[in-house]
Structure 1
């Protein structure tokens, strides 16, 4: 019955203590055995704490690796999304430019059609000075229609200077 009690209470530690007593052969084996068993509990708890700490550190390391992998995946996904967004933005801009260009050409075509449909404007060209048809009154033949270059120059320079530079203008000297 005593052996069962010792196995139950001390288990493997008693056999380790007796093996240590046999190795060391102290002068008082009973005192050595009591001292060894007393400190064995502290040593066992320290070993258990160290083992738990190692397990916890390993778990933290694994979690940090998982977090790092997740962050890398998120960064990669963010980069891919950003690339797709940039590509879509470029496509939208090019589409808008194409639509804008089409609308501009349509507007110019409509303007040209309007000018062609107006009476007396069929022989006019936009870059040349406009001339009135001979059937108009004398008052209308006195009018001057300038080219866009002449208009811009007249706006930028004083009237006297613009008149001197443009010999075709009808301003009084």
Structure 2
């Protein structure tokens, strides 16, 4: 069959004298394969009107080739669209993955910030608690100092009162001693006064006796 086709093409080429080599090459390239196949089909079928048969066959061949080309183009276009769709889907998936990673990173960052805020709040509360405890201790110390000062002042006051009482006691003791001395002096004075009175009384008692004695002495001297 292949040898027959080649001989038919050679016969067709030899029968027609082309004006130039370029045109011959053009016809071989554009219609050579179609014409060879058509002639082979004519030889194989042996139709009553080979020219009409060849023309119809070549027309159908052109339709088939065009349809095949269209289908091939459609297939290529579909494949291209599928590739583009797959590429777009892959890009979309990558973008979605990136977005998901970004969202996850954002969520992690927010969670870390929330944890930091919680830690900061916890530290702040602990600091406030420590500050309040320090203030409480300071107030307690101040209260103790005030209490100590009050006790010290009380002790000083008691000491001053004790000293005052001691001074009063000493003063009273001195006054008592003074009164005692005055009482002793008064007793001495009374004693002396009593003695003086006693002496006066004795002197008064002795005066009559003395007068009698003097009188007797005078009478005696008169007799002498």
Whose relative contact order is higher, 1 or 2, with alpha carbons under 8 Å and at least 6 apart?
Answer: 2
What is the TM-score normalised by the length of structure 1? 0.48
What is the TM-score normalised by the length of structure 2? 0.38
More helix by share: 2
